[in-house]
Amino acid sequence: MAPPLTPMLRQYRAMKAQAGDALLLFHLGDFYECFFEDAVTVARALDLTLTARNKSAEEPVPMCGVPVRAADGYIARLVERGFKVAVCEQVQDPAEAAGLVDRAITRIVTPGVVTDPANLDARANNYLVALCLQSPRPGHDARRVAGPLADGGAAAVGLAALDASTGEFVACEVAAGRDLADELSRLAPREILVPAPLAASGLPDEVAQGAAEGRWRIEPRAAESFAVPGAVARLEALLGVSGVEGLGLGGRPLATGACGALLAYVEETQRVAPRHIGAPRPYAPGGTMALDEATRRSLEVLAPASGGDQGGRGRGAGSLLALLDLSVTAMGGRRIRRWLTYPLTRLADLAPRQALVAAAVAAGPARARLRSALDRVADVERLTAKAALRQANARDLAALGRSLAALPAVADAASAIAPELAARLDPLDDVAARLAATLVEDPPAGLKEGGMIRPGVHAELDELRSLREEGTGFIAKLEARERQRTGIASLKVGYNRVFGYYIEVTRPNLHLVPDDYERRQTLTQAERFVTPELKAYEEKVLSAEARILDLEYELFTELRDAVAAEARRIAAAADVVAELDAAAAFAEAAARYDYVRPELTEGTEIVIEEGRHPVIERMPLGERFVPNDVRLDTSANQILVVTGPNMAGKSTYLRQVALIVLMAQVGAFVPARSARIGLVDRIFSRIGAADDLSRGRSTFMVEMSETAAILRSATPRSLVILDELGRGTSTYDGLSLAWAVAEHLHDDPGLGCKTLFATHYHELTDLARTKPRVVNLTVAVTESDGRIVFLRKIVPGAASRSYGIQVARLAGVPEPVLARAQEVLANLEGDEFTESGQPRFARRGARRQAPAPQLALFGRDRAS
Ligand code: ADP
Ligand code: MG
């Protein structure tokens, strides 16, 4: 049997039991220590030395620790790795403890509830998501969840998402399966709350997969925490309302339950009422364009494809986001990311945003003034959240105060662009004034060391401070008086931490020391004394100092609570700031990059004159970017088959059309001479043989499953980009599949989606002969001296040949190989093959009886 635990370790065990599956950091003097299995986990995760408590004992207890001063960084690293961390503090002064110091868990940090801006990407939200779905009852199809049916027959799931660091709070109901997967990939949450019974019986694939890939952590929660009555009570308490009908959640029990689960979790982990969180904003993914992850990635909306960033954080250069995010505030940056993740599909929703951007484009000088005013606004959303969660220090509040003080200038500049929005911007003068009047210019980070509060704020504080300041004068006077009284010219009054105030007399003068001097300390050259007067003074000063620190802390927390009480007003102002900054950024991009305002219609035509690829045109190409037109409709130009040699510009053309449509539907201006965009409900973009090694599936399998998704979910209003479909398999398989897919997109009356199809299968150009809505396009090239020259111009017609060998020459493949390739090509084109599909080499047959091994590749295709 293990030896009994020490009282301290027993206390640790009790705390650990409370912490559940969180790692427990146990405050012990200057360290946070971990014990037992947590110590092993933490030592490994943070690369710390694992030691042991009771080393000599038979069963030493594994232990590791981090210094309290540096704990935040370590905690952030643990959370970044997907762990949940409970911080257990000493809540009693060790000097006052009779035995063991009292300890309590004061906060729990989890990946979904990170609130310290230092550990967050300023330009992305950090979402915690709750999913309210029921576990399958025994005897039911295990893959069907038992919620009410959403449109389309799939079970509905209640989804709520909260960024505790900003207060952003949204809720919706979506269909399980693909829609849920899309929504999760847009939100990119770090943690997902699910009912425990469901976690035990098997999570839906789309939820389980992200967890397996380390994209989010799953937190199973008791089923009761998703119950509607509890959720309503929580929302009522948070918002101070009675009934939640006014919130637009009526008739949405699953979304309501998800909101309740989120709030319960935040309260549990933060241990304070999150007053910065407002009413959840119900939204219908229906009004927005569903952009699945594959499309977002292939269009490089949020991150470049090579960046390895799967729709996560960061402003990956080379992405559409990096290009368009010219915002100057963190709120604006997050808003632009949201706009790009949720393009709009309804003209009525888009028109006001586009008008706002257009107004900002038109008003150049006002825009410049607006942006420079906005530049003085820090991340007020996150600063306010910190205040509401009682984590803000005086520097945070001072920064908040300075930001709020810039709001009148923001409103003033904005009134020339968007009078209504400007009028909606609460300048928060009262809060700004209180902050400015209370806090000193540049307060310290510590809360217990004073120096935060201005003079004139609190009478007693002022008095105590002048007492402290008078001190210097008092000591000088006392010193002079004592020198005179004793006749010791070298007598000094000093102070040290251990003995306090003293009078120092050097040895030769000791005989002059009067009777009322009391010895305190003996040094080699001198003795130190105190007098009753000096002692009384010391007491007064020291207690004044302590009282000053207490008072300052008290006044600071009062101020912080006052800010928290205004959190919703500040959040409303931050919302306007985000909108203005994001719109001004789009306008700035339009002006800098020469974009035009697209005409948005509810029709089905997409007509772009001289369109450009927004990202590639800005890259150093070594050649001028050549603009191209496009016309897509549902009558004569439904499917554009684009052929042309490798490197000619096919992929660029396809993507630029998709990006221009996407930009138009987020309210931005577009890189073109003119554009008329019939709004689309979805954009699908697929690249053949895209490497998706991270998922461990074969590229061809990925390609086909993505194609299947398009065939299943595209509508006549969708825009489909298929780039080299079928490249992932053998030539004839690929060609047949590509052919059949194109035919189906054309013929199926339910589809009819506008499609751009780039392919190196020239055979596909034959489709246009029989299919009335198929149009052939090609990228013009010319040849000079056997070298290919790319003209980058899209013209009607089919590529006459593939120019593969010329492109290989451009790429530096050695001449003998090219010559041989030319030879093989001639044979293939002349259909000179043996029975087994090997090319014949009549002229040079003697030397080449055994075909080179790579030729078997051609042979196999031919034979199959
Ligand atoms: P393909 O898909 O036909 O192989 P890409 O679209 O990948 O060709 O284009 C290859 C390269 O050609 C691009 O990276 C870019 O540098 C250049 N390019 C493509 N389109 C244009 C254009 N319209 N103007 C100038 N350069 C272009
Ligand atoms: Mg290509």
Ligand 2 centroid–CA 633 distance in Å is 23
pLDDT tens profile 795-825: 998 877 667 777 788 888 888 888 888 888 8
Ligand 2 centroid–CA 599 distance in Å is 29
Q: What angle do CA 479, 484, 489 make, to 5 degrees?
A: 75
3-state SS, 120-131, equals CCCCCCCCEEEE
Averaged over 88-100, what is the pLDDT? 83
What is residue 2's predicted lDDT score, i.e. its pLDDT?
61
What is residue 444's predicted lDDT score, i.e. its pLDDT?
92
Q: What count of other Cβ atoms lies within 10 Å of the Cβ of residue 848?
A: 15
- Report the mean per-residue pLDDT for the chain: 85
Atom of ligand 1 nearest to the CA of 654: 6
What is residue 355's predicted lDDT score, i.e. its pLDDT?
97
In this structure, of 212-221, 236-245, 775-784, the range with the lowest mean pLDDT score is: 236-245
Please give the backbone phi and psi of residue 660, each rounded to the nearest 5 degrees, phi first. -65, -40
What is residue 134's predicted lDDT score, i.e. its pLDDT?
59
Nearest-ligand number for the alpha carbon of 654: 1
Nearest-ligand number for the alpha carbon of 318: 1
- Nearest C-alpha neighbor of 210 from the set 106, 58, 312, 97: 312
Is the pLDDT confidence value at 492 over 60? yes
CA dihedral 19, 24, 26, 31 (to 10 degrees): -160
Averaged over 586-594, what is the pLDDT? 97
Contact 602, 347 (CB under 8 A): yes
Nearest-ligand number for the alpha carbon of 645: 1
The protein residue with its alpha carbon nearest to ligand 1, atom 18, reads: 649
What is residue 299's predicted lDDT score, i.e. its pLDDT?
92
What is residue 678's predicted lDDT score, i.e. its pLDDT?
96
Q: Give the span between the Cα atoms of 435 and 250, in whole angstroms.
A: 39
Ligand 1 centroid–CA 375 distance in Å is 37
In this structure, of 161-170, 702-711, 740-749, 757-766, the range with the lowest mean pLDDT score is: 702-711
What is residue 231's predicted lDDT score, i.e. its pLDDT?
92
Ligand 2 centroid–CA 792 distance in Å is 13
Nearest-ligand number for the alpha carbon of 643: 1
Contact 642, 777 (CB under 8 A): yes
Ligand 1 centroid–CA 647 distance in Å is 6
Six token digits for residue 741: 């897919």
Nearest-ligand number for the alpha carbon of 653: 1
pTM, two decimals, is 0.79
For the residues of 213-247, what is the DSSP string, one character each?
TTS-EEEEE-GGGG-HHHHHHHHHHHHT-S-SGGG
- Better-predicted residue by pLDDT, 496 or 342: 342
Atom of ligand 1 nearest to the CA of 646: 4
Q: Give the span between the Cα atoms of 658 and 361, in whole angstroms.
A: 23
pLDDT tens profile 112-169: 988 888 888 888 899 999 999 854 444 333 333 333 433 334 578 999 999 999 989 9
Is the pLDDT confidence value at 495 over 90? no
Establish whether residue 623 lines the binding site of ligand 1, counting it when its CB lies within 6 angstroms of any ligand atom: yes
Establish whether residue 792 lines the binding site of ligand 1, counting it when its CB lies within 6 angstroms of any ligand atom: yes
**Amino acid of residue 661:** V
How many angstroms separate the Cα of 150 from the Cα of each of 178, 281, 711, 815?
Answer: 13, 20, 21, 62
Contact 104, 90 (CB under 8 A): no
What is residue 832's predicted lDDT score, i.e. its pLDDT?
55
Ligand 1 centroid–CA 651 distance in Å is 7
pLDDT tens profile 723-738: 988 776 677 788 888 8
Establish whether residue 760 lines the binding site of ligand 1, counting it when its CB lies within 6 angstroms of any ligand atom: no
Establish whether residue 612 lines the binding site of ligand 1, counting it when its CB lies within 6 angstroms of any ligand atom: no
Establish whether residue 147 lines the binding site of ligand 1, counting it when its CB lies within 6 angstroms of any ligand atom: no
What is residue 290's predicted lDDT score, i.e. its pLDDT?
75
Q: Give the span between the Cα atoms of 419 and 171, in whole angstroms.
A: 30
Contact 754, 720 (CB under 8 A): yes
Nearest-ligand number for the alpha carbon of 650: 1
Establish whether residue 810 lines the binding site of ligand 1, counting it when its CB lies within 6 angstroms of any ligand atom: no
What is residue 689's predicted lDDT score, i.e. its pLDDT?
54
Beta-strand relationship, 526-530 and 500-506: antiparallel
Ligand 2 centroid–CA 650 distance in Å is 5
Is the pLDDT confidence value at 696 over 50? no
Is the pLDDT confidence value at 627 over 80? yes
Establish whether residue 650 lines the binding site of ligand 1, counting it when its CB lies within 6 angstroms of any ligand atom: yes
3-state secondary structure of 836: coil
For the residues of 569-611, what is the DSSP string, one character each?
HHHHHHHHHHHHHHHHHHHHHHHHHT-BPPEEESSS-EEEEEE
Half-sphere exposure of 328 (CA within 13 A, CB side): 19
- Better-predicted residue by pLDDT, 308 or 751: 751
CA dihedral 617, 620, 622, 625 (to 10 degrees): 10
Averaged over 743-766, what is the pLDDT? 87
CA dihedral 221, 223, 225, 226 (to 10 degrees): 110
What is residue 662's predicted lDDT score, i.e. its pLDDT?
97
Is the pLDDT confidence value at 746 over 80? yes
Give, for ligand 1, the residue of 616, 618, 626, 723 to mutate: max count of ligand atoms closer than 8 Å to Cβ. 616
pLDDT tens profile 552-575: 999 999 999 999 999 989 999 999
Establish whether residue 652 lines the binding site of ligand 1, counting it when its CB lies within 6 angstroms of any ligand atom: yes
Ligand 1 centroid–CA 663 distance in Å is 20
The model's confidence at residue 443, banded by pLDDT at 50, 70 and 90, is very high
Is the pLDDT confidence value at 427 over 70? yes
Beta-ladder partners of 642: 758, 777
Averaged over 258-277, what is the pLDDT? 89
Ligand 2 centroid–CA 778 distance in Å is 13
Is the pLDDT confidence value at 314 over 80? no
Establish whether residue 626 lines the binding site of ligand 1, counting it when its CB lies within 6 angstroms of any ligand atom: yes
Establish whether residue 682 lines the binding site of ligand 1, counting it when its CB lies within 6 angstroms of any ligand atom: no
- Better-predicted residue by pLDDT, 401 or 864: 401
Is the pLDDT confidence value at 750 over 90? no
Establish whether residue 386 lines the binding site of ligand 1, counting it when its CB lies within 6 angstroms of any ligand atom: no
**Amino acid of residue 13:** R
Averaged over 648-659, what is the pLDDT? 95
Six token digits for residue 784: 């000079």
Give, for ligand 1, the residue of 608, 617, 652 to mutate: max count of ligand atoms closer than 8 Å to Cβ. 652
The protein residue with its alpha carbon nearest to ligand 1, atom 5, reads: 649
Q: What count of other Cβ atoms lies within 10 Å of the Cβ of residue 255?
A: 28
For the residues of 367-436, what is the DSSP string, one character each?
HHHHHHHHTT---HHHHHHHHHTT---HHHHHHHHHHHHTHHHHHHHHHTT-HHHHHH----HHHHHHHH
What percentage of residues in the chain have a pLDDT greater than 70? 89
What DSSP element (H or E) covers 559? helix 532-565
The protein residue with its alpha carbon nearest to ligand 1, atom 16, reads: 621
Establish whether residue 647 lines the binding site of ligand 1, counting it when its CB lies within 6 angstroms of any ligand atom: yes
Contact 591, 358 (CB under 8 A): no
Ligand 2 centroid–CA 761 distance in Å is 13
The protein residue with its alpha carbon nearest to ligand 1, atom 12, reads: 649
Beta-ladder partners of 529: 503, 519
Contact 792, 611 (CB under 8 A): no
What is residue 137's predicted lDDT score, i.e. its pLDDT?
41
Eight-class DSSP state of 358? H
pLDDT tens profile 37-49: 999 999 999 988 8
Ligand 2 centroid–CA 688 distance in Å is 9
Ligand 1 centroid–CA 594 distance in Å is 20
Ligand 1 centroid–CA 612 distance in Å is 11
Averaged over 654-674, what is the pLDDT? 97
Nearby residues of 841 by Cβ (< 8 Å), 6 or more positions away: 823, 827, 848
How many angstroms separate the Cα of 22 from the Cα of each of 68, 88, 443, 516, 746?
Answer: 18, 11, 35, 62, 55
Ligand 1 centroid–CA 623 distance in Å is 10
In this structure, of 193-207, 294-308, 314-328, the range with the lowest mean pLDDT score is: 294-308
The protein residue with its alpha carbon nearest to ligand 1, atom 23, reads: 626
Q: Give the span between the Cα atoms of 193 and 211, in whole angstroms.
A: 12
Nearest-ligand number for the alpha carbon of 781: 1
Atom of ligand 1 nearest to the CA of 612: 23
Ligand 2 centroid–CA 647 distance in Å is 7
Establish whether residue 283 lines the binding site of ligand 1, counting it when its CB lies within 6 angstroms of any ligand atom: no
In this structure, of 667-671, 787-791, 834-838, the range with the lowest mean pLDDT score is: 834-838
- Better-predicted residue by pLDDT, 299 or 761: 299
What is residue 428's predicted lDDT score, i.e. its pLDDT?
96
Ligand 1 centroid–CA 648 distance in Å is 6
Establish whether residue 707 lines the binding site of ligand 1, counting it when its CB lies within 6 angstroms of any ligand atom: no
The model's confidence at residue 417, banded by pLDDT at 50, 70 and 90, is very high
What is residue 857's predicted lDDT score, i.e. its pLDDT?
34
Establish whether residue 625 lines the binding site of ligand 1, counting it when its CB lies within 6 angstroms of any ligand atom: yes
Ligand 1 centroid–CA 789 distance in Å is 12
What is residue 22's predicted lDDT score, i.e. its pLDDT?
92
The protein residue with its alpha carbon nearest to ligand 1, atom 4, reads: 647
pLDDT tens profile 387-400: 998 889 999 999 99
The protein residue with its alpha carbon nearest to ligand 1, atom 17, reads: 649
Contact 627, 672 (CB under 8 A): yes
